[in-house]
């Protein structure tokens, strides 16, 4: 059993919301406040990737977690207090034993616009974004671009955008399943059974690079590392610092196709360099982003 600690602290870029931090320890007594069943996944490209664990405790403790912990920062330390994983809470499921409720960032968007063509006109246009400032202040900016086809004017274009924004700007706790009265869930993991718990699913901050769309109308080209720096400076809201090794591979500076920032960065990295070397991006602790040549594969002799 994992015997380290998990610290849940405020979203690092939030200006509103819960400021409460807590460090959780593994629990050996069912029902005590803490966590069980911790697992994590890392990748060479990105480093941190996913982690999961169960929160256990009183029903009030679990309800508080559901209401306040979404998008909060997660830092995992090992048994000797060494840092192991860093990211944020992406989704939670509260299992009361009778019903299951979910809250997630999967369908949360607070910056929405629509690409359309005015009826009878030539080139497509894109609307002025409509936004929800409270949601952005709590979770960060997450963009969505709708497709509208042919529309009469900007006022008509804003109608579906506003309706979509109203539906998606704030994550809501929604029921997932409901059991028979008096019948508890058979969900079980390492001793947690027949008791309320919250299943917490976390993602790396690498995921947030795809929260925003990068656009630049200026045609031209520049080196790969310079272009990645421009994207990070414009759209990487959760990056606190970065190290970018020089890669002079030429890439375009013009992006007008609603591409997400993380996808562009990953595609640039996949080009490698003129020495045919592989390049990767990854994150270090304290939300530090790195772009550099991948370490060569090591030959292991058995």
The whole-number average pLDDT for the span 210-214 is 97
The pLDDT score that the predictor gives to residue 298 is 61
Task: Give the number of other Cβ atoms within 10 Å of residue 142's Cβ.
Answer: 22
| Secondary structure element (H or E) that encloses residue 10, with its range | none
User: Model confidence over 253-296: pLDDT tens digits?
Assistant: 999 889 999 999 999 999 999 999 999 999 999 999 999 999 87
The whole-number average pLDDT for the span 55-66 is 95
The whole-number average pLDDT for the span 228-241 is 98
The pLDDT score that the predictor gives to residue 1 is 78
The pLDDT score that the predictor gives to residue 14 is 97
Which has more confidence, 230 or 118?
230
* Helix (DSSP H) and strand (DSSP E) numbers for the chain: 5, 18
The pLDDT score that the predictor gives to residue 182 is 43
Vertex 87 angle, CA 65 and 230, to 5°: 130
As beta bridge partners, residue 71 has: none
User: Model confidence over 81-117: pLDDT tens digits?
Assistant: 999 999 999 999 999 988 999 999 999 999 999 998 8
Tell how strand 174-178 and strand 111-118 pair up. Answer: unpaired
The confidence band for 302, taking pLDDT boundaries of 50, 70 and 90, is: low
Q: DSSP for 278-290?
A: -EEEEEETTTEEE
The whole-number average pLDDT for the span 143-162 is 91
Contact criterion met (CB below 8 Å) for 240 and 289: no
Rounded to whole angstroms, how far apart are CA atoms 182 and 185? 10
């Amino acid at each position: 059993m994992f015997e380290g600690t998990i610290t849940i602290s405020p979203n690092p870029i939030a200006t509103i919301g819960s400021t409460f931090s807590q460090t959780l320890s593994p629990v050996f007594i069912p029902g005590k406040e803490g966590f069980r069943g911790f697992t994590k996944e890392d990748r060479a490209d990105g480093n941190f990737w996913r982690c999961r664990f169960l929160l256990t405790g009183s029903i009030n403790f679990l309800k508080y977690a559901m209401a306040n912990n979404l998008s909060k920062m997660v830092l995992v330390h090992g048994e000797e207090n060494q840092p192991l994983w860093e990211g944020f809470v992406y989704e939670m499921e509260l299992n009361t034993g009778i019903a299951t409720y979910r809250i997630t960032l999967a369908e949360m968007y607070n910056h929405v616009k629509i690409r359309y063509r005015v009826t009878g006109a030539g080139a497509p246009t894109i609307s002025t974004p409509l936004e929800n400032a409270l949601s952005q202040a709590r979770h960060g900016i997450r963009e969505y671009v709708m497709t509208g086809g042919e529309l009469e004017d900007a006022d008509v274009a804003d109608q579906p955008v506003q309706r979509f924004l109203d539906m998606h700007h704030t994550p809501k706790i929604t029921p997932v399943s409901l059991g028979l009265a008096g019948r508890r869930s058979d969900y079980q993991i390492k001793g947690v059974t027949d008791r309320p718990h919250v299943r917490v699913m976390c993602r790396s901050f690498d995921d947030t690079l795809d929260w925003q769309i990068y656009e630049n109308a200026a045609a031209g080209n520049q080196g790969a590392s310079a272009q990645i720096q421009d994207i990070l400076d414009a759209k990487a809201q959760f990056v606190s610092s970065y190290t970018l090794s020089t890669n002079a591979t030429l890439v375009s500076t013009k992006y007008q196709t609603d591409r997400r920032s993380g996808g562009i960065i990953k595609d640039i990295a996949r080009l490698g360099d003129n020495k045919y070397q592989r390049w990767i991006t990854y994150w270090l602790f304290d939300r530090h982003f790195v772009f550099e040549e991948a370490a060569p594969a090591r030959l292991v002799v058995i």
